[in-house]
């Protein structure tokens, strides 16, 4: 230090508050050299206002921290003062006004002021949900439930049929499943018998009974015409061909549509007694095997009945004869009518409407019959066939 | 998420890979290493092994027997010897990185603004093979300006002149980017070479690089003293005429004369940069002037010479030697905010 700042006189009131202020020392040193600020500014190339601000301690008028300190160091070195010491003091004095560590805020593109991302996401999700819901609603309202729903496994059905509160309706729909997969063995026959029992328990039981009696009529005829085991196996598909055999196409249809109304059709009567008998022993746990084989078939017609019910007696019936097969039936305008898996032995009666098309996942397993005449298979086992017209006229003729 | 976890476990670092000195800044700890960029390699049975790195290796520079080589892997700010540079970075990373943590560090390395893509790739690859998890590059003038505390992100022009060992970077920055930059391959090394050449030419005395550097630091000046010879210094070397070691006294005036050429190159670079500066930015620079960083800023009277050559206020940054390392370190600390000054070659 070349001078002792305490000996120097103070110039302004503000300097009195800081007698050893950096500005004061600078001014004193400059005055000793006999130069004025303008001269120094030209020599140091530092603008005069900045030098004055340094001398007067107006830290806010100086450019940013680094520059102010650089100017001070240059000025102090020029005045032959200890630059580093002056910088140290200056930093102490100006710690409030100077921020040597300038805040760095990089310019970033202005956001376009649209919907924020979070809201966009939520709206997108809601829209997606709405679209799915709408699609689901449309689809579920245009197809019949009977056409699209697949049958419940029999294990569950036997569970369901136990509670007595179940209506005969449910019991009746339970039976088709068993009948569909029915094979003449004891294990499956017994649940069927149970189902029959529970069906008889509630109020509608008499009606159900009657229906059974009627259904048995044609079935027994079939049994008469065809070999009984075959009838038992293909119970679901046969009832329609059966009336054709009997040369009474209209009559069996009516019992199916309104089972309760047409109570006693002629052909049914003579045989009705026997299956009824057969069913009753089946109620009792110890059913004879021969009778058990007959017990499922009575249920079979009811299985077929819901589907043709809206068609009013369909001409074309698709039956999964050789194996399980997935089928899809579409309307003329491409609308889905049915899409289901036909288990072996199950049948699907096609409504009598023009322009229906069939897609089959296992064409060889299907047996299509028109008016009771079985057509040649559509393809090999495992072959997929699409867009087969189901118009009776367009199907290949029966052999 | 995973990045955060590994970042928490590893000591991320910023490296100022300089021609003369390498500084390592570790996140949360500041500058932890400052050593010369020198590697001593011993050759044993045809196999090269690293003998020493940093200060120790610098002592060997120019004093090695046949089987040891003291190498400066960086020349003119870029990697000259790829393998040795990799060894050096590996050594420094190992030295500062916590051995117990198994996650490899994220590393930011600064590169001269004038370096080519090949040179940048070489730096990035050697840092990666030295064990970095991820490598980012930052341009030296930007790092220097951030380290010097210049308001680089404001809409006002700032001019920074970083005089390193191998290169001098002149750049005008505004709004967080480099508006104009110019890199000349003149720096401390060229000054040393100029001193060696001058003494050999005028005094027939051959001195080593180390001695030349010492002369530059002690009595080096950008301009001769106003009167007289200025400070003087004893130097030792080998007499070229009769081949015996000799002692000699050189003065500040002589050294200033010898440094005239590299200093002139620096002034020229600054002038060219000013010529290419847009008028609005030039107006800002007239007000606030030029900030000098890097070891070259410590050459006495360089600010005076530049002030007179350009007519602008010239100030020297606080702690000019570590400005680049501090700026790179700040980029590391405030990575999410400063990510747009970082680049990667892939």
Query: Which residues does chain B have within 8 Å of residue A71's beta carbon, measured at their own beta carbons?
Result: 313, 315
Which pLDDT score, from 0 to 100, does residue A322 have? 82
Contacts of A73 in chain B (CB under 8 A): 315-316
CB contact under 8 A, A104 and B317: no
How many contacts does A have with B, using Cβ atoms within 8 A?
A: 73
Query: Which of A1-15, A330-344, B186-200 is the least confident region?
Result: A1-15
Q: Quickly count: other Cβ atoms within 10 Å of residue B169's Cβ.
A: 32
- Count of other CB atoms within 10 angstroms of residue A54: 25
Most confident listed range (A216-220, B43-47, B318-322, B339-343): B318-322
Q: In what order do the strands lie in the sheet with B314-316?
A: B177-184, B168-174, B158-163, B290-293, B314-316
Contact A53, A59 (CB under 8 A): yes
Q: Which residues contact B147 (CB under 8 A, 6 or more apart)?
A: B293, B317, B322, B323, B324, B325, B326, B327, B328, B329, B330
CB-CB under 8 Å, B152 with A67: no
**A48 → chain B, closest CA residue:** B287
Average pLDDT of the residues in A286-293: 43
Residue A182: what pLDDT?
A: 43
Query: A263 phi and psi, to 5 degrees?
Result: -75, -45
Is residue A376 within 8 Å of residue A397, measured between CB atoms? Answer: no
Residues of chain A positioned with their CB less than 8 A from the CB of B334: 104
Q: Please determine, for residue B108, whether its predicted confidence score (pLDDT) is greater than 90.
A: yes
CA A273/CA A209 separation, integer angstroms: 12
pLDDT at residue A248 is higher than 60 = no
Q: Which of A17-31, A134-148, B15-29 has the highest mean pLDDT?
A: B15-29
Chain A positions touching B289 (Cβ under 8 A) are 45-46, 67, 70
Q: How far is A101 from chain B (nearest CA, A)?
A: 6
Q: Tell me whether residue B173 is exposed, middle or buried, using C-beta atoms within 10 angstroms of its C-beta: 0 to 12, 13 to 18, 19 or more.
A: buried
Name which of B16, B58, B40 is nearest B214 in CA terms.
B58
- pLDDT value of residue A187: 45
Could you list the beta-strand ranges (E) of chain A: 316-320, 325-330, 336-342, 347-350, 357-360, 366-370, 373-374, 385-389
A-chain residue closest to B305, CA distance: A44
* A67 with B307: Cβ contact below 8 A: no
CB contact under 8 A, B153 and A64: no
Give the pLDDT confidence score for residue B139 in this predicted structure.
92
Choose among A322, A318, A321, A330: nearest CA to A368: A318
Taking residues B283-302, what's their average pLDDT? 92
pLDDT tens digit sequence for B62-71: 888 989 999 9
- CB–CB of B337 and A87 under 8 A? no
Cα Rg of chain A (Å, integer): 49
How do residues B236-280 score in pLDDT, each as one tens digit?
999 999 999 999 999 999 999 999 999 999 999 999 999 999 999
- The residues, any chain, with a CB within 8 Å of residue A25's CB and separated by 6 or more, are A3, A5, A8, A81, A86
Per-residue pLDDT at A295 = 42
Q: Is the pLDDT of residue A211 over 60?
A: no
User: Could you give the CA distance from residue A215 to residue A279 in angstroms, rounded to a whole number?
Assistant: 13
Quick check: B338 and A104 CB within 8 A?
A: yes
Spell out which chain B residues touch chain A, with contact meaning CB-CB distance below 8 angstroms: 146, 148-153, 175-176, 287-289, 291, 303, 307, 311-318, 330, 334, 337-338, 340-341
| pLDDT confidence band for A6 (50 / 70 / 90) | very low
pLDDT band at A379 (very low <50, low <70, confident <90, very high): confident
Residue pLDDT, tens place only, B76-92: 878 888 889 888 988 88
* pLDDT tens figures, A111-134: 666 666 788 889 999 999 999 999
A220 has a pLDDT exceeding 70: no
In chain A, residues with a C-beta closer than 8 Å to the C-beta of B153 are 104-107
Residue, of B266 and A292, whose pLDDT is higher = B266
Residue B191 has pLDDT above 90, yes or no: yes
Contact criterion met (CB below 8 Å) for A45 and B307:
yes
Is A45 in contact with B316 (Cβ distance < 8 A)? no
Using the predicted structure, report yes or no on whether residue B290 has a pLDDT greater than 90: yes
Which pLDDT belongs to residue B9? 65
Contact A54/B at CB under 8 A: no
Q: What's the pLDDT score for residue A17?
A: 43
- Rounded to the nearest angstrom, the minimum Cα separation between A49 and chain B is 10
Residues A21/A93, Cβ–Cβ less than 8 Å: yes
DSSP secondary structure, A34-53, as one string: T--HHHHHHHHT--HHHHHH
**Best interface-test mutation with A: which of B143, B177, B289 has the largest number of A CBs within 10 A?**
B289
How near does any CA of chain A get to the CA of B26, in Å?
A: 18
> What residues form DSSP beta bridges with B184?
B168
Q: What mean pLDDT is reported for chain B? A: 89
Q: In the predicted model, what is the mean pLDDT of residues A244-271?
A: 43
Give the model's confidence band at B6: pLDDT under 50 very low, under 70 low, under 90 confident, else very high.
Answer: low
pLDDT for res B203 = 93
Flag whether pLDDT at A222 surpasses 60. Answer: no
Helix (H) or strand (E) holding B313: none
> A332 pLDDT band (50/70/90 cuts)?
confident
| pLDDT tops 60 at residue B111 | yes
Average per-residue pLDDT in chain A?
66
Would you place residue B99 in the very low, low, confident or very high pLDDT band (cuts 50, 70, 90)? low
The torsion region of residue B45 among left (phi > 0), alpha (psi -120 to 50) and beta comes to left
- A75 has a chain B CB within 8 A of its CB: no
Do residues B19 and B165 touch, judged by C-beta distance below 8 A? Answer: yes
- The whole-number pLDDT of residue B2 equals 60
Q: Above 90 in pLDDT, residue B179?
A: yes
The neighbour count for residue A359, using CB atoms within 10 Å, is 16
End-to-end Cα, chain B, rounded Å: 22
- Per-residue pLDDT at B327 exceeds 80: yes
pLDDT of res. A142: 66
Task: Read off the pTM.
Answer: 0.60
pLDDT attached to residue A213: 46
The rounded percent of chain A whose pLDDT value lies above 70 is 49
> Where is pLDDT greater, at B335 or A109?
B335
**How far is B152 from A225, CA to CA, in rounded Å?**
102
Put simply, the answer to whether B153 touches A107 (Cβ < 8 Å) is yes
A78 to chain B: nearest residue by CA?
B304
- For residue A379, the distance in angstroms to the closest alpha carbon of chain B comes to 57
Interface test with B, best of A67, A87, A90, A94 (most B CBs within 10 A): A67
Tens digits of per-residue pLDDT, A176-196? 444 444 444 444 444 444 544
A186-200 and A205-225 are packed helices; what angle lies between their axes, rounded to 10 degrees? Answer: 140
pLDDT of residue B233: 92
Give yes or no for A100 touching B (CB within 8 A).
yes
The average pLDDT across B294-317 equals: 92
Least CA distance to A47: which residue of chain B?
B287
| pLDDT at B251 (0 to 100) | 93
Contacts of B326 in chain A (CB under 8 A): none
Mean per-residue pLDDT, A343-354? 83
Helix, strand, coil percent content, chain A, rounded in steps of 5: 55, 10, 40
The alpha carbon dihedral of B314, B316, B321, B326 has a sign of negative
Which one has a higher pLDDT value, B34 or A287?
B34
Distance, CA of A120 to CA of A114 (rounded, Å): 9
**pLDDT score of A302 more than 60:** no
Question: pLDDT value at position B1?
Answer: 53
């Amino acid at each position: 230090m070349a001078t002792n700042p305490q000996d120097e006189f103070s110039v302004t009131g503000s300097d009195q508050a800081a007698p050893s202020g950096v500005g004061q020392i600078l001014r004193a040193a400059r005055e000793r050299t006999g130069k004025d600020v303008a001269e120094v500014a030209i020599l140091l190339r530092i603008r005069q206002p900045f030098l004055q601000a340094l001398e007067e301690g107006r830290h806010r008028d100086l450019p940013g921290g680094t520059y102010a300190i650089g100017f001070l160091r240059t000025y102090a070195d020029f005045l032959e003062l200890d630059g580093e010491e002056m910088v140290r003091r200056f930093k102490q004095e100006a710690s409030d006004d100077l921020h040597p560590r300038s805040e760095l805020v990089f310019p970033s593109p202005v956001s376009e002021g649209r919907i924020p991302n979070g809201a966009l996401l939520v709206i997108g999700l809601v829209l997606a949900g709405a679209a799915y819901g709408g699609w689901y609603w449309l689809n579920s309202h245009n197809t019949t439930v009977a056409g699209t729903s697949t049958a419940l496994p029999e294990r569950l059905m036997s569970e369901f049929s136990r509670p007595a509160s179940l209506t005969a309706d449910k019991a009746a729909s339970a039976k088709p499943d068993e009948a569909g997969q029915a094979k003449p063995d004891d294990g499956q026959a017994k649940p069927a018998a149970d189902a029959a029992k529970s069906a008889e328990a509630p109020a509608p039981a008499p009606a159900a009974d009657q229906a059974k009696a009627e259904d048995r009529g044609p079935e027994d005829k079939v049994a008469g015409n065809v070999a009984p085991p075959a009838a038992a196996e293909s119970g679901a598909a046969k009832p329609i061909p059966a009336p054709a055999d009997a040369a009474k196409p209209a009559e069996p249809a009516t019992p199916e549509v309104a089972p309760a109304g047409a109570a006693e059709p002629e052909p049914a009567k003579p045989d009705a007694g026997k299956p009824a008998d057969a069913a009753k022993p089946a109620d009792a746990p110890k059913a004879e095997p021969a009778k058990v084989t007959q017990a499922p078939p009575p249920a079979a017609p009811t299985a077929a009945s819901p589907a043709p019910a809206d068609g009013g007696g369909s001409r074309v019936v698709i039956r999964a004869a050789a194996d399980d097969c997935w089928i899809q039936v579409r309307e003329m305008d491409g609308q889905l009518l049915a899409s289901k898996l036909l288990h072996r032995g199950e049948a699907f009666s096609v409504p009598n409407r023009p322009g229906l098309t069939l897609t089959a996942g296992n064409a060889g397993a299907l047996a299509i019959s028109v008016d009771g005449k079985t057509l040649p298979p559509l393809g090999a086992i495992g072959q997929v066939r699409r867009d087969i017209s189901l118009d009776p006229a367009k199907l290949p003729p029966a052999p | 998420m995973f990045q955060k976890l590994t970042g928490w476990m590893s000591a991320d670092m910023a490296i100022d890979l300089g021609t003369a000195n390498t500084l390592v800044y570790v996140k949360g700890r500041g500058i932890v290493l400052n050593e010369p960029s020198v590697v001593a390699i011993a050759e044993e049975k045809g196999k090269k092994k690293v003998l020493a790195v940093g200060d120790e290796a610098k002592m060997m520079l120019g004093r090695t027997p046949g089987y040891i080589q003291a190498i400066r892997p960086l020349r003119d700010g870029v990697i000259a010897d790829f393998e040795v540079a990799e060894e050096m970075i590996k050594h420094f990373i190992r030295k500062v990185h916590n051995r117990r943590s198994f996650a490899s560090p994220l590393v930011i390395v600064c590169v001269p603004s004038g370096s080519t893509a090949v040179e940048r790739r070489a730096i990035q690859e050697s840092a990666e093979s030295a064990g970095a998890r991820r490598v980012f590059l930052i341009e030296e003038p930007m790092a220097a300006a951030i380290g010097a505390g210049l308001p680089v992100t404001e809409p006002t022009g700032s001019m920074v002149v970083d005089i390193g060992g191998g290169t001098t970077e002149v750049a005008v920055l505004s709004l967080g980017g480099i508006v104009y930059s110019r890199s000349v391959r003149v720096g401390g090394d060229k000054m040393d070479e100029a001193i060696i050449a001058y003494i050999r030419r005028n005094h027939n005395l051959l001195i080593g690089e180390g001695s030349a550097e010492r002369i530059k630091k002690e009595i080096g000046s950008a301009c001769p003293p106003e009167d007289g010879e200025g400070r003087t210094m004893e130097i030792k070397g080998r007499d070229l005429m009769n081949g015996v070691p000799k002692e000699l006294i050189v003065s500040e005036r002589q050294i200033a004369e010898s440094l005239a050429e590299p200093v002139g190159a620096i002034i020229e670079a600054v002038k060219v940069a000013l010529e290419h500066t847009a008028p609005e930015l030039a107006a800002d620079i007239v007000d606030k002037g030029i900030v000098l960083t890097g070891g070259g800023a410590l050459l006495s009277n360089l600010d005076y010479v530049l002030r007179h050559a350009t007519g602008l206020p010239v100030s020297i940054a606080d702690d000019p030697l570590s400005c680049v390392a501090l700026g790179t370190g700040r980029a590391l600390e405030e990575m999410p905010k400063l990510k747009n000054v970082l680049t990667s070659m892939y």
